[in-house]
Chains A and B, each alone.
Chain A
């Protein structure tokens, strides 16, 4: 039995590598194509360029309508960083209340919060649009950011509640003996200890806001304010069939920040999905 089974792990390993290659093939092909000259892209299904060129990156970076991709990346980064700040501050405040404080209707409010996780956002979409329209906030970042500063992404509250419940309650009691009120307990004890959950929140906020397309499409129309995703889309609309190389190059660049985040925090990210069931 034992000798017969010895080859099994090797075979499994080979199968897993093959499966991974098949799965990543389109992605690797795009990476290769972004370095291929125009004439080669749709003639060569292989990964490696026959004639290596940087033209796609140089020309693609010039962007759409005279606005370079530098501008679009800057816009995306600003939007994402503010979204992270909003989510970290307001979600952790709500999580602290649910995990540590007693108040009226606590169970009912918590149930409402959990139910809101399943609510399709389309059912609030149009009145929200009308509301922001009346405020004159269309074509600004406010409709994209205000929800983050109002803790709308309840997934993160849930994640942090679970985390705070795991922290020893003696810490709070000791701080109370030392004369700390709830606000100091939050700022001096809970918030610093919450760091791993805050990092997970930051990573997911980064990825979701960076990838977000629907709300940016609805709320932004001035090309100067476009994010990378909107710029890719208008690039697609404005160019001819011949400049797919530029588009591939910029698409690869748009994925780089997500990859960097993923590689640097793979473990936290995957544990976050496994424990809360968040979708990536």
Chain B
């Protein structure tokens, strides 16, 4: 038997079962990644063949394209305000619901609903009207003496409406926190009670350290997905909103690639996004030894 036929005999069954996934991996992920890296060094409009321009796309992005820099600023502000707020709310509600709550399953389901429908176009449309000139937010805050205005049309508050929409979807991290809380052994709490620890001491010495792996997981997953947010900004802000106050990174990438057909430039933007997300993921993993508590 030759080496090839031995290899084939050993792997043919697995290859059969893996073939759809392998084909997808090669044709839809691996090759496109390499091609988009190549395109990022070219000028390409889909109809003519790509022209090699070296690092020009990357240089333009950071040196000349003020709209790109604005998109970066908007996206960073969104990610690093919305994600922590959302996770704090998720953790607070998980702790609140966890201890002997009557109807826990019902509340868990109800608080999960916004996560379920939040990414849809229907909810983005609703948001446009909740925070619009004639929206119900104005009617609700009017008794507090706040002047009615379009919260979406004002560049100072437009991004806030998108952040509120993100925080509103705290249900899915909350469900993961609840599952994590349930896995903390009761004996730990009993031991703490014997030691005379109060509720606050118990929280900081037992609950919080044992939840850090879940906090870590939620943080990474939410940051990765928040960097890629698109639908809410596209439906609520259109082409970026007033003064580009809602110009998410992916929205600008979409405009560049599919409205202006600058596909080389859009590919370069996609690669920078990959590097940004990779950087933060690596950063969290690198610091995780200091603050994430894994049971030995």
Contacts and interface: CB of A to CB of B under 8 A. Distances in A.
Interface of A: 9, 12-13, 15-16, 19-20, 23-24, 26-27, 29-30, 42, 45, 89-91, 93-94, 96-97, 101-104, 106, 109, 112-113, 116, 118-131, 133, 146-147, 149-152, 154, 157, 181-183, 186, 207, 210-211, 213-214, 217-218, 229, 232-233, 236, 244, 247-248, 251-252, 254-255, 258-259, 262, 266-267, 270, 273-275, 277-280
B125 A232 contact: yes
Given A147-B24, A274-B178, A118 B235 contact: no
A126 B250 CA distance: 13
Contacts of A119: 29, 274
A101 B17 contact: yes
Nearest to A94: B21
Given A9-B102, A122-B270, A273-B172, A127 B31 contact: yes
28 contacts: A12-B96, A16-B96, A23-B168, A26-B127, A42-B135, A90-B21, A93-B19, A94-B18, A119-B29, A120-B270, A120-B273, A121-B228, A122-B273, A122-B274, A123-B33, A131-B32, A146-B28, A213-B119, A213-B121, A213-B231, A229-B120, A232-B122, A248-B125, A258-B120, A267-B105, A270-B109, A274-B179, A280-B115
Contacts, number: 246
Contacts of A26: 126-127, 130, 136
A127 B101 contact: no
Interface string B210-224: 000000011001101
Contacts of A42: 129, 134-135
Interface in B6-62: 7, 10-11, 13-21, 23-25, 27-29, 31-33, 35-36, 39, 46
Contact of B102 (A13, A27, A218, A236): A13
Contact of B11 (A20, A90, A103, A131): A103
Interface of B: 7, 10-11, 13-21, 23-25, 27-29, 31-33, 35-36, 39, 46, 93, 96-97, 100-103, 105, 107-117, 119-123, 125-127, 129-130, 134-136, 139-140, 168, 171-172, 175-176, 178-179, 217-218, 221-222, 224-225, 227-228, 230-231, 234-235, 250, 253-254, 257-258, 263, 266-267, 269-271, 273-274, 277, 281
Contact of A125 (B14, B110, B221, B270): B270
A270 B105 CA distance: 10
Nearest to A97: B17
Contacts of A131: 27, 32
A14 B135 CA distance: 28
A32 to B, nearest CB: 10
Please provide the 4 A-B residue pairs with the shortest distance between their CB atoms, ordered closest to farther: A150-B24, A274-B179, A103-B14, A251-B122
A contacts with B: majority SS = helix
Given A152-B24, A255-B117, A118 B258 contact: no
Interface centre among A102, A112, A150, A254 (most CB of B within 10 A): A150
A236 to B, nearest CB: 6
B232 to A, nearest CB: 10
Nearest to A16: B107
Contacts of A104: 7, 10-11
B85 to A, nearest CB: 14
Contact of B112 (A217, A218, A270): A270
B121 A232 contact: yes
Contacts of A106: 14
Contacts of A152: 24, 28-29
A123 B274 contact: yes
Contact of B235 (A120, A121, A233): A233
B225 to A, nearest CB: 6
A59 B129 CA distance: 20
Given A20-B110, A279-B221, A94 B122 contact: no
A106 B22 CA distance: 12
Nearest to B266: A126
B24 A151 contact: yes
A100 to B, nearest CB: 9
